[in-house]
A and B are shown apart, each in its own frame.
Chain A
């Protein structure tokens, strides 16, 4: 949450005019007002533009629900009207939702920070909690007129679509499962399948999931890791550790409150 997200073009122009700095190279992709009557159209525009801009269908779906939840927050908990902007900067798509009115704090900000899956359903904050899980980055900040939230989604690179592979080898008294490529719906099932087989063989197995080769994960992938942890926990004497967790994943687990569930090497 510490990375420096470029401001939306409009705000930046303002700031650049003030400071006289050079502008970033950023492309505005979508800029439209929003209210409670236009969420359906908003979702359709976001979906179309996200795919056009190069997000995979799956990540475009994630952006659509993120945009919807942020916009719905403005409509239901904010002033009722706002604006949505999407722009590209480097290899990242940023989507900013601003509230036209002025509410004292960014909506549900405390809930985002405290987002903890073990505590839900705790009203409110579920919308933003989910958005935080789906987006690569989420920032709450003050917009020109009211509170604003920006979510960022990395555009795909060739590396991200490396296929999933699972290698199992004995390592001291433990069994190591080396995971590489993308951890998604299908591969998460392979992973939990492998855990089930291991536990069937040895109910007190000591398992290490090595994530060094992980290039991509989505909500299903994370759910798969949680399921794996659940199966191990339910098996008397068994243990699970995560090794070589990619920094972004570690940070993501921390921010979503899931890190407590795992033991890291």
Chain B
């Protein structure tokens, strides 16, 4: 059985003045990793900006869904979600110089407001659109290293690895201090098993059966080492067999009473767990999600 854990840095390991390159494979993963980045930033008292590819309200709603207390942070001015177009870009054009001076303004404002540091996440999906000056993107990434040196500012550049071509990605990653991706335990056309960062746990997508038992066991064992409740996010899982269900339910049985396992599943998978008796195991809460 092929088990892989990426050797990239974990999102939770980022420190001040990191210029990190996050690659993600699907929106779910982007929102999850961003939520962890925002959560840890807010918890350290830093100011947090997210320039997202979606409307700011939709972006903050995604964070709230993952347990981040966005509203109070937004109200207090500690967290801001922005659309790239209005800030990093000038409408439909990009200039490295303009983007760097915008970032400098933000860093100054952050210092003036008394925050000990700043975290900026930037979804780079705008660069996939016909934007004038997009060829300056590598220059911008290169310059960021100088801008961030000796500051308490970290920038997380977010690239969709399915949509950016490998050549572009390769030309960009070199100018970052770290590469960040979700820890992945299994990925093929049928199944993806990866760590979930917010709320902490694991995420299964596709169909799982005993062929992936080993990867699932590893993912669960690592989730067990985290603190607090464990979410097993199966919202995008359409099939699970009995050995895999048993493994997940046994994880719940092995936890102390203070910790819970939350199973998020589609109705079909949820009824499998119910038939299996999962709802009768102490510490298991079964949450049915409808396709959103």
Give the interface of A toward B (CB within 8 A).
36, 39-40, 43, 57-58, 61, 64-65, 68-69, 72, 76, 117, 120-121, 126-127, 130, 133-134, 185, 218-220, 222-223, 226-227, 230
- Give the dominant DSSP class at B's interface: helix
Is B277's CB under 8 angstroms from A76's CB? no
Task: Point out the residues of chain B lying under 8 angstroms from A130, CB to CB.
Answer: 242, 272, 275-276
Among B207, B241, B242, B288, which residue has its beta carbon within 8 angstroms of that of A185? B288
Quick one: closest A residue to B266, CB to CB?
A61
Is B210's CB under 8 angstroms from A64's CB? no
Question: Measured between C-beta atoms, what is the minimum distance from A115 to chain B in Å?
Answer: 11
Interface string of B256-292 (1 = CB under 8 A from A): 0000000000011011101111011000000010000
What are 30 A-B residue pairs whose CB atoms fall within 8 Å in the complex?
Answer: A36-B211, A39-B211, A40-B207, A40-B209, A58-B271, A61-B271, A65-B239, A65-B272, A68-B209, A68-B239, A68-B241, A69-B241, A72-B210, A72-B241, A117-B277, A126-B242, A126-B246, A127-B241, A127-B242, A130-B272, A130-B276, A133-B275, A134-B275, A185-B267, A185-B271, A218-B275, A220-B274, A223-B274, A223-B280, A227-B279
Interface string of B234-250 (1 = CB under 8 A from A): 00000101110010011
Task: Point out the residues of chain A lying under 8 angstroms from B190, CB to CB.
Answer: 40
Task: Point out the residues of chain A lying under 8 angstroms from B241, CB to CB.
Answer: 65, 68-69, 72, 127
Is A43's CB under 8 angstroms from B207's CB? yes
Q: Which 10 A-B pairs have the closest CB atoms?
A: A219-B275, A223-B274, A127-B242, A61-B268, A220-B274, A219-B274, A126-B242, A219-B271, A220-B271, A223-B279
Is B209's CB under 8 angstroms from A219's CB? no
- Give the dominant DSSP class at A's interface: helix
Question: Measured between C-beta atoms, what is the minimum distance from A146 to chain B in Å?
Answer: 21
Interface string of B212-251 (1 = CB under 8 A from A): 0000000000000000000000000001011100100110
Is B272's CB under 8 angstroms from A219's CB? yes
Question: Measured between C-beta atoms, what is the minimum distance from A67 to chain B in Å?
Answer: 11
Task: Point out the residues of chain B lying under 8 angstroms from A43, CB to CB.
Answer: 207, 239
Give the interface of B toward A (CB within 8 A).
190, 207, 209-211, 239, 241-243, 246, 249-250, 267-268, 270-272, 274-277, 279-280, 288
Task: Point out the residues of chain A lying under 8 angstroms from B271, CB to CB.
Answer: 58, 61, 185, 218-220
Among B207, B209, B211, B246, which residue has its beta carbon within 8 angstroms of that of A121? B246
How distant is the Cα of A92 from the Cα of B53 in the complex, in angstroms?
Answer: 51
Task: Point out the residues of chain B lying under 8 angstroms from A65, CB to CB.
Answer: 239, 241-242, 272
Task: Point out the residues of chain A lying under 8 angstroms from B280, CB to CB.
Answer: 223, 226-227, 230
Task: Point out the residues of chain A lying under 8 angstroms from B267, CB to CB.
Answer: 185
Question: Measured between C-beta atoms, what is the minimum distance from B92 to chain A in Å?
Answer: 44
Task: Point out the residues of chain A lying under 8 angstroms from B276, CB to CB.
Answer: 126, 130
How distant is the Cα of A43 from the Cα of B272 in the complex, in angstroms?
Answer: 15
Task: Point out the residues of chain A lying under 8 angstroms from B209, CB to CB.
Answer: 39-40, 68, 72
Question: Measured between C-beta atoms, what is the minimum distance from A87 to chain B in Å?
Answer: 23
Is A223's CB under 8 angstroms from B275's CB? yes
Quick one: closest A residue to B207, CB to CB?
A40
How distant is the Cα of A215 from the Cα of B151 in the complex, in angstroms?
Answer: 69
Quick one: closest B residue to A227, CB to CB?
B279
Identify the interface centre among A43, A76, A121, A223: most chain B CB within 10 Å of its CB.
Answer: A223
Contact A121 B272, CB 8 Å, known A126-B242, A223-B279: no
Contact A76 B210, CB 8 Å, known A126-B242, A127-B242, A223-B279: yes
Quick one: closest A residue to B288, CB to CB?
A185
Question: Measured between C-beta atoms, what is the minimum distance from B159 to chain A in Å?
Answer: 31
Question: Measured between C-beta atoms, what is the minimum distance from A133 to chain B in Å?
Answer: 5
Task: Point out the residues of chain A lying under 8 angstroms from B277, CB to CB.
Answer: 117, 120, 223
How distant is the Cα of A154 from the Cα of B280 in the complex, in angstroms?
Answer: 28
How distant is the Cα of A121 from the Cα of B254 in the complex, in angstroms?
Answer: 13
Question: Measured between C-beta atoms, what is the minimum distance from A44 to chain B in Å?
Answer: 9
Question: Measured between C-beta atoms, what is the minimum distance from B23 to chain A in Å?
Answer: 27
Question: Measured between C-beta atoms, what is the minimum distance from B35 to chain A in Å?
Answer: 29
Quick one: closest A residue to B190, CB to CB?
A40
Question: Measured between C-beta atoms, what is the minimum distance from B239 to chain A in Å?
Answer: 6
Task: Point out the residues of chain B lying under 8 angstroms from A222, CB to CB.
Answer: 275
Question: Measured between C-beta atoms, what is the minimum distance from A164 to chain B in Å?
Answer: 16
Quick one: closest A residue to B206, CB to CB?
A40
Question: Measured between C-beta atoms, what is the minimum distance from B1 to chain A in Å?
Answer: 12
How distant is the Cα of A76 from the Cα of B241 in the complex, in angstroms?
Answer: 13
How distant is the Cα of A227 from the Cα of B275 in the complex, in angstroms?
Answer: 12
Task: Point out the residues of chain B lying under 8 angstroms from A226, CB to CB.
Answer: 280
